[in-house]
Amino acid sequence: MTDPRELVQKNLEDVRRRMAAACLRRGRPQDSVTLVAVTKTVDAAAARALYDLGVRDFGENRIQQAEEKIAALSGLDIRWHMIGHLQRNKARDVVQRFAMIHSVDSLRIAEAIAEQARKRQTVARVLIQVNVSGEETKSGIASEEAGGMARDVARLDGLRLEGLMTMAPFCEDPEDCRPCFRRLRELRDEIAAAGIEGAEMKHLSMGMTNDFEVAIEEGADLIRVGSALFHGIIPPTPH
């Protein structure tokens, strides 16, 4: 049986190589893209293996699942990214534990996050999740609403709007995701051009295992990758 650490190392090298190649194709510096390792299907030991290989950004989509890992790895210089749909009653925990929230999909959740951040006297860094493809099963606001939402969110004290996030529909051919990523970049550029006070539209969080190379070619600077890093790792048993 392969040592899980060796497996993770091989997977990471492969992902890094593919990231570098995508950057090269667009003449982008390699350090312009941050890999957010999505650890939702693995335990703290697997995340730790990646940390030891230099990864510092980790993504989780559920608070409850994340908490154990965050506790197990506390004291390490890890930036945790919340990438899943949020409930208002979880705003306090998410503000406390996460460096960035990618999944703001309503003004109500943005207000709850801002309120908790003010209580803690911090500023929450957030992205607005846009459902570019319009698939009913995906969270996120409609593309047409992104500009208005950006204005409303940027106005809130206690948070800073730093960009947009999307999930592309699953495509057999990742090339088919390109229009979705391109649209998110255009939306980001439009919002940036509007010069909204309090908005700093520098991040585009897009691209997962299946499509991150295309996302990088279209301007992603945060890619969220799980399966490609952890395939072959046995998932933790639920309890």
Ligand X SMILES: *Cc1c(COP(=O)(O)O)cnc(C)c1O
Q: Is residue 55 part of the contact set for ligand X (CB under 6 A)? A: no
User: Is residue 227 near ligand X by the rule CB under 6 A?
Assistant: yes
Q: Which residue is nearest to ligand X (CB)?
A: 226
CB atoms near residue 139 (< 10 Å): 15
Q: Nearer Cβ to ligand X, position 151 or 178?
A: 178
Distances (CA, A) of 163 to 23, 80, 198, 209: 20, 17, 11, 21
**Contact between 69 and ligand X per CB under 6 A:** no
Closest approach of Cβ 149 to ligand X, in Å? Answer: 18
Q: Considering the rule CB under 6 A, would residue 61 count as an interface residue with ligand X?
A: yes
Cα atoms found within 13 Å of the Cα of residue 58, Cβ hemisphere only: 34
**Options 138, 171, 185, 209; binder of ligand X; rule CB under 6 A:** 209
> What x-and-dash track marks residues 146-185 binding ligand X by CB under 6 A?
---------------------x------------------
Regarding 225 and contact with ligand X (CB under 6 A), the answer is yes
- CB 174, min distance to ligand X, A: 11
Q: Which is nearer to ligand X, 59 or 158 (CB)?
A: 59
Q: What are phi and psi of 130, to 5 degrees?
A: -115, 130
Interacting residue with ligand X among 208, 215, 220, 222 (CB under 6 A): 208
Question: How many whole angstroms from its chain centre is CA 172?
Answer: 22
DSSP state, 147? Answer: H
Kindly report the length of the chain. 239
Q: How far is CA 100 from CA 7, 137, 190, 212, in A?
A: 28, 24, 22, 20
Place of tokens 């206690």: 158
- Binding flag, residue 83, ligand X (CB under 6 A): yes
What is the size of the binding site for ligand X (CB under 6 A)? 14
Nearer to ligand X among residue 33 and residue 167 (C-beta): 167
Q: Are 94 and 85 in contact (CB under 8 A)?
A: no
Which range binds ligand X by CB under 6 A, 18-26, 179-187, 190-198, 202-210? 202-210
Among the listed ranges 2-10, 21-29, 186-194, 204-212, the one in contact with ligand X (CB under 6 A) is 204-212
Q: Which amino acid is at 128?
A: I
Give the CA-trace dihedral at 98, 100, 102, 108, to 10 degrees.
Answer: 80
With CB under 6 A as the contact rule, which of the stretches 92-100, 106-114, 213-221, 223-231 interacts with ligand X?
A: 223-231
Q: How many CA atoms lie within 13 A of 42 on its CB side?
A: 25
Interface residue list for ligand X (CB under 6 A): 38, 40, 61, 83-84, 167, 208-210, 224-228
